[in-house]
Structures are given as structure tokens and as C-alpha cells.
Chains A and B, each alone.
Chain A
Amino acid sequence: NAGVTQTPKFRVLKTGQSMTLLCAQDMNHEYMYWYRQDPGMGLRLIHYSVGEGTTAKGEVPDGYNVSRLKKQNFLLGLESAAPSQTSVYFCASSSYTQGLYQPQHFGDGTRLSIL
């Protein structure tokens, strides 16, 4: 009963390095989301996807790219990491059923530090 799985859980990068965060869900959800969580800021939406092959910008998309090549996976990329991207990143997924957008299911988070 995995739900939403994020890898890695922790990572330390140097400024300018690139990396990809992976989110995988096994609930056949159409919608997937990437958030960042910073002290005092709550959860802010980076990018989201309403289905395989589609992505859209959220509130804070600059410096990030995403891809949804398979329905179950949503990748978040940092092309050139900056210290301002030090944060905890959460992936979430949800579905639209019974005429309602269902609650989002969250992964355990990825703690990313950029030095």
C-alpha cells in the first residue's frame, strides 16, 4: 500500500548542480502536484499535471521543470540549483471522482539543501 513515494528523501547539492526528484503514485490518479514548503510560507505549488503528457505552472515555477511521461510518475528537475531552492519538496496526487476533486495524497517529502 505505497500511495505516493518520493525519492530521494534527502539530498545536498552545490550551487549550479542539477538533479531530478522522482514522485511515483500507485493509485491511478490523474492529477499530480509538486509543492515546496518553507518556514512561515505554507505549501506553495511549483508545477502540476492533469494527466499523462501534460504539465502546467503553479505559483512558483521559476528554476524548475517537470515531466509526466507516464501516468504514475511526475518528475521535478532543477537545472542549475540555487541556494534559494533549499526547501522541503512534497509531491501529491489526486483524482476527480463522483463529481468531486478528491483530497490530495502526499508523499513523505524530500529535504533538499543547496550549498
Chain B
Amino acid sequence: ILNVEQSPQSLHVQEGDSTNFTCSFPSSNFYALHWYRWETAKSPEALFVMTLNGDEKKKGRISATLNTKEGYSYLYIKGSQPEDSATYLCAFLGAAGNKLTFGGGTRVLVKP
């Protein structure tokens, strides 16, 4: 079983503040890392697919970086808004196959 860990498990952020959190994954046999956003009572929606070491992706106020050599990815939220409240999942795709291994998620709550 692959070890994909996210920290912290939960995060309270004041509206307007920026924040970031981590996804750790195996540094060997890497193929891709996915990030998903999961709002309460909805289903997960894809944010980013990252494949290359040093990749940086951006979508609005949310961005992500990738370090495959050391096995981590950061997700950043700039100027957090209440609508950013969600659980953010990372998922590791190894070179061997076509199935994702998900981390436990970071639950972000943005307080007005």
C-alpha cells in the first residue's frame, strides 16, 4: 500500500489570509500527482494534474508546486475567501498503473 500523506488534516484561515498545505508521496516510480477540491455534500472536482518535477500550476487564487525528487507538493490559496472552504485531496499515480492513491485530505475552513 502506497503512503500518501497530507498535512495538516485541518486548517482554519481568516478571510483574506493566504495559506498552504502539503502532500507527501513516494519519490520513486512517479507518474503524476492530482489535486482535487471536495466541497461538503458534493463530489470531488479536479484542480490540477502535475507530472514534471518543478511544475507549477495556477487556477485563480489557487496554485500548486511539485517536487518529485523529494516527494512533496504544496497547494497554496492566496487571499482565502469563504467559498474556498473545502477538503483538498491529493492523489498519487505511480508509473505502474492507472489507479490513484489518495491522501487523507486537508480540510480548510475560511472564517469571515
Q: A residues bordering B, Cβ < 8 Å? A: 4, 31, 33, 35, 40-45, 48, 50, 58-59, 90, 96, 100-109
**How many Cβ-Cβ contacts under 8 Å join chain A to chain B?**
55
Given contacts A42-B89, A108-B43, contact A48 B105 (CB under 8 A): no
Q: Is B31 an interface residue (CB 8 A)?
A: yes
The number of chain B residues touching the other chain, given as a range, is 20 to 34
- Docked complex Cα distance between A44 and B2 (Å): 12
State whether A58 touches B99 (Cβ < 8 A).
yes
Given contacts A96-B98, A101-B98, A103-B34, contact A40 B104 (CB under 8 A): yes
Given contacts A41-B104, A59-B1, contact A100 B32 (CB under 8 A): yes
Interface members, chain B 29-82 (any A CB < 8 Å):
31-32, 34, 36, 42-46, 49, 51
